[in-house]
Structure 1
Amino acid sequence: MSDMLTLTTHPSIAAIDPQDWDGLGDGNPFTTHRFLLALEQSGSVGTGTGWQPLHLALERGGALVGAMPLYAKSHSQGEYIFDHAWAQAYMRAGGRYYPKLQAAVPFTPASGARLLARDDGARAGLLDGLMQVTDRVGASGAHVTFCLESESALGRAAGFLPRITQQYHWLNRGYGSYDDFLAALSSRKRKDLRKERARAQAFGGTIRHLRGDDLRPHHWDAFWEFYQDTGARKWGQPYLTRAFFDRIHETMRDDILLVLAEDDGTPIAGALNFLGPDAIYGRYWGCVADHAFLHFELCYHQAIDHAIAHGLSRVEAGAQGDHKLARGYEPVPIHSLHWVRDPGFLRALDDYLDQERRAMGDEIDALADFTPFRKDG
C-alpha cells in the first residue's frame, strides 16, 4: 500500500509546501514555487485572466513525489506554442475547445521540466493523472508546452502527441570571452557585430547590470514603464501586473539580471533576464527613447557577455525573431505534448503533427545555414 500513488489538484500553489515543490525541480527559475506564487499573488493569473491554477500533486506514502504546474484555460493567449487553428477547427466541427488544460508556465516561452519528479514512474503517473483530470473537469484536452525532450518521449508512450516548434538560442562552446565567440564567425559577420555594438554603446549613457540587493524599487518603476509600452504594442495590454514585479523583487531578486541603459542616471531602456543553473533567460525588454541597435545590445549581446563571464551553457532569448540569427543565436527544436479527448480529432491532429514535425526539421536545417559561423569547420 505504501507504493500507491495519490493524485490531488490545487487551485493555488500556496497549498503545496515550497520546499517539497522545489525539491522536485531542476532549478529552472520559472517552475519554482516562488515564481508561480508571484503570478498568483499579483493577480497575473487567476480569476478573470483565463489562466486558472489547477496544479497537480502526486503523493506516495504521504510524501510529494511529483508535481505539475497546471492551468485551466479559457483562451489560447500567452502560450507561445499556439493552437488557435486547432481551436477553430474543433469548434467548426461542433465541439467546445475551451476549457482546456495547460501544463505550462504562463507567458513564458522557456523550456524546462513540466513533470516535476525524481523518477520516470512518477512522471508517468503525472501524465496519466493529467488525462484523468481532463476527463473529470470536462476539458477538451491537455497540453504540455515547452517541456524537455525526455518528457516528450514519455508523453508519446503515454498516448500524447509530440509537437516540435523552433526557437533561437545562443550556445556557449567554451568561449573565454566575447572575442573568442567572434573568432568563430565569418570575417564579415565579425565586423558587422563589432560595428553594431560600438554604435549601440555610443548612445551617450551607461549600461548597468543589476542583481540581488543592487535592485531597488525605483528600478522596477522604470522597468514597469518599459514593459507597459512593449506589452501594449505586442499584446494590446500587458499580461503581468505591476504587483508581480514587487513580488519577484521580494522573493527572486537573486535569480534576476536587469540590464539597464541610463542617460545621465535616468533609465531609458532595459532588458529583464532570469538566471538558471546553466542558462540565462531573456524575458522582457522596453524603452522610452530610441537609439540605434540598443535593443540588440541589451537583449542579446549583454546576455552573451553574462553567459560567457559566468560559464553558462546557453542564452534563451524568448520566442520568434529571425534577427537573432545574425547575432549568433541558432535554431533549436522546442518540444510539447498534446492530447484531446475526442478520438476523431486526435487522429486528425496526429496526422497534422506528423507532417509538421517533418517540415519543422527541414526548416531548422535550412535556418542553420544562415548562422554567422564560419563554414570552414
Structure 2
Amino acid sequence: MIRLPPLPTIQEIIRIYGLSARKKLSQNFLLDLNLTRKIIKSAGNLKNCCVVEVGPGPGGLTRSILNTEVDKLIVVEKDARFIPSLEILAAASQGRMKIIQGDILNFDMADVVPLEYARQWQENTPEIHVIGNLPFNVSTPLIIRWLDSISKQCNLWSRGRASMTLTFQKEVAERIIAPPRSEYRCRLSVMCQYLCNVSLKFSIPGKAFVPPPKVDVGVVKFVPRREPLIRQPFGLVERINRHLFHHPNKFCVKSLGTLFPPDREDLIWTMIELSGVGDKLRPFELTNEQVQQLCNAYATIIEQEPDILTYEFRSQKSAKERRQKITRVLALEQRLLATNERTDGEKMQR
C-alpha cells in the first residue's frame, strides 16, 4: 500500500498558513484522521480508482484518500487560500494528485477524468468516485444539479455510473434516505431515490468539526441506478415533486391543484384517475412507484394540452398579491385624500 511520507499535521498546516473556516462559505474542517479514514472506507475499495474530491479545504480527507491505493486523485477547490497546503500533499503524492482551482457548481468533472476509467452505463460501476465534505450552503443545490447530470448521463456520468460519498447536515441526510411515511420524507427523498440507491453510512457529531456546527453531519453514499424508477425527463419529475411537497401533509389533490390553472380543476381528477393513486393519500405517504404513476399521468396530460406545462402557480399568486397590494395602497391614498379634504374644509369654516 502506498503511504504518504511524514508531513506536518493538518493543525500545523492551518497554523503555518493562517487558515480559518469562513462562516459565509459554510466551511467546517474535519481534522480527526480516524473520522476521515472512516469516510474514505465507507466509499468502498479505491484501489486503482480515479477519485474526484470536492472542496478539500486544508486536506484532511485528501490525506486519507492518498493513503489508499488510489490511482489518481483530482481535487477541486474554490478557495485560493487552501492551494498552498494542497500543493504540499500533491508534491508528496508521487504524481497521483492534481489540483484544480474552480467552482464545482460550474465545473464539468468529465473534463479531468481520463476515458480509461469509463464504463458503459449498463455495466458495473466504474472505478470513479466523488468524495466530499460539502459546505452546507451548497450541498442541496449541488446534489440536485448532479442528479440532473445523472439523469442525462452527462458531466462525470458520461463516464458511467460513478458513485458519490458526501457529507450533509444530518437532517438533510435523513431526508435523502427517508422512506414513505417517514417524518423526513420530502421532494429531495424522491429526487435522490428515483435515480440512485442511497444509504446513510454513519453520523458524525458536530463537535468533531472546526468550528463545530450546531448540527450533526451524515455521510451518504449514492450509487446511480442502471434504470431510473421514473422514466420521465428530470425537469418534469422535479416539477411534480416540487408541487406535491409544497403541502406535504395535505391530501395530494390539494398539492396537485397548483399544477393547473384555477379553472381547470377537471385536470386534477384526470391526473388522479390516470395514475390510479388514491386521492386520500398525502405526499409523504407516496412510494416512489406511485410518484412515477403521477409523473406518467401528468406527461399524458401535457401531451394533449402542452400549454399546461407553462402554467406557474407562483407567478399567478405573485400577480394576485401585487394586485391586492396595489388595491390596498389606492384605498389608503383615497382615505388620506378624504381626510385631508375634511381637514381643509374645517379650516375654511373656522
Structure having the higher strand fraction is: 1
TM-score normalised by the chain length of structure 2: 0.26
Structure having the higher helix fraction is: 2
Question: Which of these two proteins has the greater Rg computed from alpha carbons?
Answer: 2
TM-score normalised by the chain length of structure 1: 0.24
Higher RCO (Cα < 8 Å, 6 or more apart): 1
